[in-house]
Amino acid sequence: MSTLDSKIPEGPIAEKWTNHKNNIRLVNPANKRSIDVIVVGTGLAGGSAAATLAELGYNVKAFCYQDSPRRAHSIAAQGGINAAKNYQGDGDSTYRLFYDTVKGGDYRSREANVYRLAEVSTNIIDQCVAQGVPFARDYGGLLDNRSFGGVQVSRTFYAKGQTGQQLLLGAYSAMSRQIGKGKITMYNRHEMMDLVMVDGKARGIIARNLVTGEIERHSAHAVVVGSGGYGNVFFLSTNAMGSNVSAGWKIHKKGAYFANPCFTQIHPTCIPQHGDQQSKLTLMSESLRNDGRIWVPAKKEDAEAIRAGKLKPTDLKEEDRDYYLERRYPSFGNLVPRDVASRAAKERCDEGFGVGTNETGEAVYLDFSSAIMRYGQEEANVKGLHNASDKEIKELGTKVVEAKYGNLFQMYEKITADNPYETPMKIYPAVHYTMGGVWVDYNLMTTIPGCYAIGEANFSDHGANRLGASALMQGLADGYFVLPYTIGDYLADDIRTGEISTDSKEFEEAEKSVKEQVDFFVNNKGKHSVDYFHKLLGKIMWNKVGMARNEKGLKEAIAEIKELREQFWKEVSVPGSADGINQELEKAGRVADFLELGELFARDALERNESCGGHFREEYKTEEGEALRDDKNFTYVAAWEYTGEPSKAKLHKEELKYENIELKTRSYK
Amino acid sequence: MSKQLFSGSIGRKFAMALSALFLIIFLLQHFTINFTSVLSEETFNELSHFMGTNPIIQFVMQPILMFGVAFHFIMGFILEIKNRNSRAIKYAKNNGAANSSWMSRNMIWSGLFILFFLGFHFYDFWIPEMNYKYIEMKPEDPNRYYDEVVHMFASPGRVIVYCLSFVFLALHLMHGFQSAFQSMGARHDKYTPAIQKIGRAYAILIPVGFIFIAVFHYVNSL
Amino acid sequence: MSATEGLNLTLKVWRQKNDKEQGKMETYQVSDISPDSSFLEMMDILNEQLIAEDNEPVAFDHDCREGICGSCSMYINGEAHGPGREITTCQLHMREFKDGETIFIEPWRAKAFPVIKDLVVDRSAFDRVMNAGGFISVNTSGNTQDANAIPIDKHDADKAFDAATCIGCGACVASCKNASAMLFVSAKVSQLSLLPQGKVEAKERVQNMVKQMDEEGFGNCSNTGACEVECPKGISLENIARMNREYLKSGIS
């Protein structure tokens, strides 16, 4: 296991990052001009990394499959971004953010990384404000904060329900500035098809121009993968339709270890599935849980009547409602972490209390009526209306709720045609974020020299569960403040290398295998579309590798996915040709990789005989049904080495040492 | 910098707006004088005589006005051609009414109609006037103006053409008035609603006023 | 969530092989579409149908399917993003249509947005306008001043936010009779000129962005207001006025 050196710097945790920065090698500005770096993906991590690397002086080639870097899926993040600014004076600190993140991650993340994340979080806010990101402000003109699940301070900065969009546009504008200067060459509508390694180092990629269909060779001294998460392995998720694992999976197949694939976050507040024709699930920001109360009917017969459309939720009296999160977790209530909230919803629906009128019957209520009345009363007091009627109070409160969540409510109404001011929203958990990903060391380098993974694409700082508003923080921390430093340490060896030629046999071979795959797809006259296989894969994943897993199901899943993959390679049909836009061809390549990842995912879940964070094994739970961790045997990162067949991957363990935080059972009661 | 001020899309729109505002002011002045013909023959003759003989009006203001009119039309055509070229292939189905007013989408047509009217109007009033004064060099009769007007509007065909033209002028102004302010960046939460109201009032009252004058003289001639 | 019967629809869709060949409208039938489906889910069904018949599916841009990435770009029944206000195509639901209806589906039409296949257009002109000046020239070192060092009037911060919500979809260009990009460009100019951080280089920014906008071949604004109505994010014409102001100011100062 010599390759699994996480390279954590020596010294006390609070000084590790500073010491490391002081001691790593640098590349002088003149030499940076002769070094090329490829960045795949232009979301918060990739975009911010590309911009910063270009500013430092490297020649950056950035790739995205979308028609513009501004469309990366980071844009869809709603709620906010955490930072230990302690502007609210409520006791926040770097240490507390660090602690909350490690605890929220159910003690399966690397202490040193998380501390560094907490440390640079404050710079992110400063940086973004300087870039013109319009965060929410109070009447004094200062930045406003809100609170998020799993923590007891208000440290989340936000821009209404569009924080991800605003941060991404900030990074995109920083990129635009460098593209204008010619320091970044932007390759829109390009997809990375493979990694090219020369002498054991990452030296370039093969990319497909999605407009012309051309297979292109691109060389560089280092390759950075910031291509996001792999939630779409479930087919239905809150990820963008194009989100895929391919870049990460290609480097995995070339030697990068893939860590903790089974750590996947199922977000509790999504709009429930409406039927079989659905292609995509929509998330409602977790910030809604600040004011919304989650409940199901206390009596089964009421739930049945609601499902049958005979009873309306507003007809149910207070005592007939079960606010199950408040009941089970009195101290955190509706603000328990995501994994806990999701499982609790599933538990209620499995018991027959679900209120979904859709085919699946799965949904719980997220109710704002008491928040509306509470805010309304406050407003009435402020306005001096002491005898306000309930109707007036409701009107006042509706206005307050509208100001806070208006765009989310509107979005809900557009999709469901229900008015959430009048009737509670219906929500159900959906796949949202993947904590697992490509294994990286403290420098964010994978097990392939010169190949880096950042943002959601790496196995990250979130352990087994990510807290709300931490993904944006990690993406930007990696891209703006961590990678640009640590990559210099590696590139310092390349100042005399000169331009990497693409005329080598390594490029030729990689290109050839990509072309073969493309040719196979367009010539294989199968009988099923790509989506047919993707949907079947999604069903297996959701039913057997979803919110609750068990040994039997996982073993079945591994066998079924393998079978499905074989069928895919025989029967997939991709119409059209390879020389031009062919969206089915793009999907085929991505689904081929999902069909391999899914198997490894199940294998990882099978291997981890404990329940922690987003990974819940039915065999390992307390009597009350809470997750039961096994710190003695599983306080490690499972890093998988590709050996030719996903389920036969070789396991490497990175033991996690907790020197600053005591391992405890996570309790939100 | 000032070269850039009038070049480029925003510069051209600014120039368009400036000429529009100038024409709006001119129109108000034109209307005011014409309206006196309804109230008092004497005042109308006095004012017309002044306008027709004052050298500053004749040799400074009149050319400026000509330039303003020509500029507004030519610039309008240039912009229209550029704009048409910006969309080579048209939509098979386009529902413009869903998002914008007919007036705003058809400024070129209302403008063209007004241009034809102006041609007619020049032929009708301005060329005889120029002929009278500067070619045939007839002696000035300060009392001839009212009679000329009354004579002109005795013809029902002419009155119909005039009335129809003023309808198009109203449509043009309905969009153009507030649009000129928007083009110059004059927009404010507090004042813009007022500008829009004034614009609508102007776009209706002035053309209706002109129509009234024409009809008034026609009815009197019966 | 209504449980109405499925819809049967006639679709007239623009098909074009690539940017060189000419395209034409083709007619397709789809049946039993759930009114709860989104418009793009209906397109998915059409495509599955086409693949099953061994025909090439209709290419269209789409990604997040929740109205924020700005990828989807269809001109539906004569309107950008179809009927309905403040929505993108992916947020349009089939309950807006009647059984038996004929739906026209066309790509954005503008010289600056050439069609590259079927309903997919090239919107890189927007990126180039951004590259010309849609940023604040601050390095991403993180060593800027504290985020709270400059208080920003809430009113200005809110207006900057409203302008910043632009998703760059191009509906403004598509619905403008002149294919003008003023709403898009002005949203960015406004956002940055309203914030103290962006005021420093406001003059150069507006000139460079407008220059690039003109070079891309977008038309002139004639204040019809169609862009504001069709904008999925409800971005106000106020931004265009502000940009005009900023531009004229930069010309005389």
For the segment A453-476, the average pLDDT, to the nearest whole number, is 95
At residue A287, does pLDDT exceed 90? no
Q: Report CA dihedral (A319, A322, A328, A334) to the nearest 10 degrees.
A: -110
Asked whether the beta carbons of A194 and A38 are under 8 A apart, the reply is no
pLDDT in tens, A97-110: 999 999 999 999 99
Cβ distance of C66 and A282 shorter than 8 Å = yes
Whether B90 is in a domain gets the answer no
| Residue span of the structural domain in which B214 resides | 2-84+104-221
pLDDT in tens, C151-207: 999 999 999 999 999 999 999 999 999 999 999 999 999 999 999 999 999 999 999
Return the residue matching tokens 């994943």. Answer: A541
At residue A229, does pLDDT exceed 80? yes
pLDDT at site A2: 45
For the segment A567-576, the average pLDDT, to the nearest whole number, is 96
pLDDT at site B3: 55
pLDDT at site A1: 42
pLDDT in tens, A341-386: 999 999 999 999 999 876 677 899 999 999 999 999 999 999 998 8
pLDDT at site B133: 85
Chains A and B share 3 or more Cβ pairs within 8 Å: no
For C195, phi then psi, to 5°, come to: -100, 140
Distance CA C71, CA A241 (A): 11
Asked whether the beta carbons of B209 and B202 are under 8 A apart, the reply is no
Closest chain C residue by Cα to residue A77: C68
Our CA angle for A371, A374, A380, nearest 5°, is: 135
Cβ distance of A66 and C198 shorter than 8 Å = no
For residue C224, list chain B residues with Cβ-Cβ distance below 8 A: 99-101, 104-105, 175
Distance CA A293, CA A296 (A): 10
Alpha-carbon Rg for chain C, nearest whole angstrom, is 20
pLDDT at site C1: 41
pLDDT at site A436: 97
Query: What is this structure's pTM?
Result: 0.95
B88: how many CB neighbours lie within 10 A of its CB?
12
Choosing among C113, C122, C140, which should be mutated to test the A contact, i.e. which has the most A CBs within 10 A?
C140
Q: Catalogue all structural domains in chain C, each as residue range(s) with its CATH number.
A: 7-116 (3.10.20.30), 123-250 (1.10.1060.10)
pLDDT at site C212: 97
Cβ distance of B1 and C250 shorter than 8 Å = yes
Cite the DSSP H helix spans in chain B: 2-6, 8-39, 41-53, 55-56, 62-85, 102-105, 107-121, 127-130, 144-152, 156-183, 192-221
Closest chain C residue by Cα to residue A181: C131
Least reliable range by pLDDT among A65-69, A659-663, B140-144? B140-144
* Confidence bin at A148 (pLDDT 50/70/90): confident
Whether B65 is in a domain gets the answer yes
Alpha-carbon Rg for chain B, nearest whole angstrom, is 20
Percentage above 90 pLDDT, chain A: 87
Distance CA C124, CA A71 (A): 12
Q: Catalogue all structural domains in chain A, each as residue range(s) with its CATH number.
A: 16-263+435-494 (3.50.50.60), 269-430 (3.90.700.10), 504-635 (1.20.58.100)
Alpha-carbon distances of A351 from A299, A303, A538, A626, rounded to whole Å: 11, 11, 24, 16
Closest chain A residue by Cα to residue C196: A132
At residue C3, does pLDDT exceed 80? no
Q: Measure B19 CA to nearest chain C CA, in Å.
A: 15
| A609: DSSP letter | -
pLDDT in tens, C86-98: 999 999 999 999 9
Which candidate from B2, B10, B94 shows the least CB-CB separation from C244? B10
Q: Measure B31 CA to nearest chain C CA, in Å.
A: 27
At residue B110, does pLDDT exceed 90? yes
Chains B and C share 3 or more Cβ pairs within 8 Å: yes
Asked whether the beta carbons of A265 and A435 are under 8 A apart, the reply is yes
Q: Which chains touch A (3 or more CB pairs under 8 A)?
A: C
Distance CA B23, CA B68 (A): 7
Choosing among A21, A42, A66, A131, which should be mutated to test the C contact, i.e. which has the most C CBs within 10 A?
A131
Distance CA A312, CA A426 (A): 12
Choosing among A17, A177, A573, which should be mutated to test the C contact, i.e. which has the most C CBs within 10 A?
A177
Asked whether the beta carbons of C180 and C221 are under 8 A apart, the reply is yes
Cβ distance of C177 and B96 shorter than 8 Å = yes
For residue C132, list chain B residues with Cβ-Cβ distance below 8 A: none
Cβ distance of A126 and C2 shorter than 8 Å = no
pLDDT in tens, A288-308: 998 999 999 999 999 999 998
pLDDT at site B5: 64
Across chain A, what does the average pLDDT equal? 94
For the segment A646-665, the average pLDDT, to the nearest whole number, is 94
A268: how many CB neighbours lie within 10 A of its CB?
31
pLDDT at site B126: 85
Closest CA to C92 of C28, C33, C176: C33
Which candidate from B1, B5, B12 shows the least CB-CB separation from C220? B12
Cβ distance of B99 and C229 shorter than 8 Å = yes
For residue B183, list chain C residues with Cβ-Cβ distance below 8 A: 221, 223, 244
pLDDT in tens, A483-540: 999 999 999 999 999 999 999 999 999 999 999 999 999 999 899 999 999 999 999 9
* From A338, A466, A590, A666, the catalytic residue: A338
pLDDT at site C4: 56
A89: how many CB neighbours lie within 10 A of its CB?
8
> Does ipTM exceed 0.90?
yes
For the segment C70-77, the average pLDDT, to the nearest whole number, is 97
Whether B144 is in a domain gets the answer yes
**Which pairs from A382-386 meet CB under 8 Å and 24+ separation?**
none
Edge-to-edge strands, sheet with A59-63: A184-187, A59-63, A36-40, A222-225, A451-453
pLDDT in tens, A263-274: 999 999 999 988
For the segment C235-239, the average pLDDT, to the nearest whole number, is 97
More confident residue, A281 or C5: A281
pLDDT in tens, C17-42: 999 999 999 999 999 999 989 999 99
Whether B96 is in a domain gets the answer no
pLDDT at site B1: 43
Which candidate from A166, A179, A238 shows the least CB-CB separation from C131? A179
B144: how many CB neighbours lie within 10 A of its CB?
15
Number of structural domains chain B divides into:
1
* Residue A338 a catalytic site member: yes
CATH number of the domain enclosing B15: 1.20.1300.10
Chains C and A share 3 or more Cβ pairs within 8 Å: yes
